[in-house]
Structure 1
């Protein structure tokens, strides 16, 4: 009888090693797989649930996009369209405690940028100059149609800036200094603090005001300037496919995607960008029992 035929042993399904019945395989790969298997299963379950919710939402909104396009006198197949979260932000007066923390962080970053050791670090300065060149390119006016996604959403990504201090880093301050030569440390500090809005979105970035980000692009972090959510990227892909970027329709939906179910109302706003009519915002609320 070979070891493989011995009923006292079994073959590990992962590494194919023979092990005693009732025992776990002790090879590193199998130990790690057993350790992380529950987390991987949870991640897969969450991914599948979110995809099912996204598909449900697509099924609901796909009926709206053609009607919106036709109402605007456009061919539905020629209009880039996407769905985004609906943040429905609440606003509150300035939070002096959070602003003091931000001011302290800004002072520390500014001190590091103006430290002579930083200027002597050629590799670091070369990186700062490259980022400044990128920032100059990003200062170009944004295509109004791509902004439809952000107007409709009202800042889901901005909420990440609450715990990350607006993602402002040494690179952010260094780039701002390079773009504004001659600025003193106090002038840079004042420039940032003067941009704090009188009312800011609750549980979001300090610079997330009533009309969006109060920082101009040259003062924002590289993270904020370069980040593109999947829904916004979807619009870019459609622009490229259709060969037009002058018109877009975005529907923002409350609860998308995490809390959207079959029973959820289609509640949010429609943002249309049209070269003739400009930007149009319409609030919507369609309940499942009222669907056509």
Structure 2
């Protein structure tokens, strides 16, 4: 409930009911005079919802549906209050969905492990990651042209022979350390199951920058500017995931690792970073990875080192669970 400005001011001018001038002095509740009739009338208007919920003034018939008077200050305050309420409702709904995801994923993990005689389900840490639910669609020519223009500008800068400006001393890197091979294998197994949720921010730029193209140029000194441009354009397909990076295709990223930005090669979502942080110093690396979207589970994968056991029928309750076995080495 918003606090009426009249309750915050040290003085009040006129009675909200009878319009009689009010004496100067400490603020009176609701800016009413001392007459009992005014207090009774105001209480009746309050019960009927016929006073402004911001300033407390009686409302006209036109103002009553919104319970806000027509003054600009009250209108702005009402809009702000509504936005806060919507945000709080959405946050509560989102929190409930996350809680449901964790509960459903935990039950699924415990069922799967019990079916294989594993009595300690917590030995396979549970990790819930996002999931891409959008489908593939033709890549519009307009997006290709936007990317072509952006790529051409970046290539020109990468091949610019003018001396680079003096850069300030490099600050300590805040990027997470590169995972050791055995950990990276598990992370990549899990990362692949979400089908590229993080790629959705790539848009028509694919996270490419001048430094990425300079690194690619250094690895391929035989290629001139036109060849580098052609190499990147040649990997743009005809179909991509809707509202995602133009290189985000059915079988994953169309770019080779050496062509991707450093961000793309090193990025792991928050859930996978926490999994990596909590790994034991020694021993096998394993986990139960579930992808979900707004409370609905989509895929589940039991990962142990380089082996992935893909659980099918995630939304059902098979006993024992139906599984497909996928041995991925390295």
TM-score (norm 1): 0.68
Could you say if the C-alpha distance between residues 112 and 201 of structure 1 is closer, same or farther in structure 2, counting changes exceeding 3 Å? same
Per the alignment, residue 91 of structure 1 pairs with 136
- Structure 1 34/173 Cα, relative in aligned 2: closer, same or farther at 3 Å? farther
Which has the larger share of helix? 1
1:269 aligns with 2:284: no
- Return 5+ residue gaps in structure 2 as ranges: 1-22, 33-54, 58-75, 318-330
Distance in 1 separating the partners of 2:179 and 2:161: 29
Provide Cα deviations, 1:189-243, integer angstroms capped at 9, x if missing partner. Answer: 1221233346533432121122211223332234434443233233223425x85
* Secondary structure in structure 1 of the residue aligned to 2:184: coil
Are 1:196 and 2:240 counterparts? no
Deviation at 1:63, TM superposition (A): 0.9
SS at match of 1:87: coil
TM-score of the superposition, structure 2-length normalised?
A: 0.62
Corresponding residue number in structure 2 for 1:235 = 275
Select the structure with the greater relative contact order (CA < 8 A; seq sep ≥ 6): 1
Over 3 Å counting, the alpha-carbon distance change for 1:139 and 1:179 in structure 2 is farther
Aligned counterpart, 2:310: 281
In structure 1, what is the Cα distance between the partners aligned to 2:90 and 2:208? 31
* Aligned: 1:58 with 2:102: yes
State how far apart, in whole Å, the 2-side matches of 1:231 and 1:185 are: 39
Contact 1:248 1:274 in 2 (8 A): yes
Matched residue, 1:152:
193
Instruction: Flag the structure with larger Rg.
Output: 2
Q: Which residue of 1 aligns with 2:158?
A: 113
In 2: Cα distance, 1:167 partner to 1:215 partner: 12
Alpha-carbon spacing, 1:170–1:139, altered in 2? closer, same or farther (3 Å): farther
Q: Distance in 1 between matches of 2:85 and 2:237?
A: 43
2:313 match: secondary structure: strand
Deviation at 1:80, TM superposition (A): 1.9
Per-residue deviation, 1:267? 4.9
CA contact (8 A) 1:270 1:284 kept: no
Local SS of the residue matching 1:281:
strand
Which whole-Å deviations, capped at 9, do the CAs of 1:164-212 have from their partners, x for residues lacking one?
Answer: 4212223332343355556421232122123334653343212112221
> What is the root-mean-square deviation of aligned Cα atoms in Å?
4.1
| CA distance in structure 2 between the aligned counterparts of 1:226 and 1:39, rounded to whole angstroms | 37
SS in 1 for 2:167: helix
- Is 1:206 matched with 2:246? yes
Partners of 1:94 and 1:198 within 8 A in 2:
yes
Match in the other structure for 2:291 = 252
Report matched runs for 1:136-151 at 5 Å: 143-151=184-192
The answer to whether the 8 Å contact 1:83/1:252 transfers is yes
Unaligned segments of structure 1, at least 5 residues: 11-19, 23-31, 261-265
Residue 113 of structure 2 aligns with which residue?
69
CA contact (8 A) 1:93 1:200 kept: yes
- With over 3 angstroms needed to count, the CA separation of the structure-2 counterparts of 1:203 and 1:7, relative to structure 1, is closer
- Give the alignment partner of residue 206 of structure 2, picking from 155, 158, 166: 166
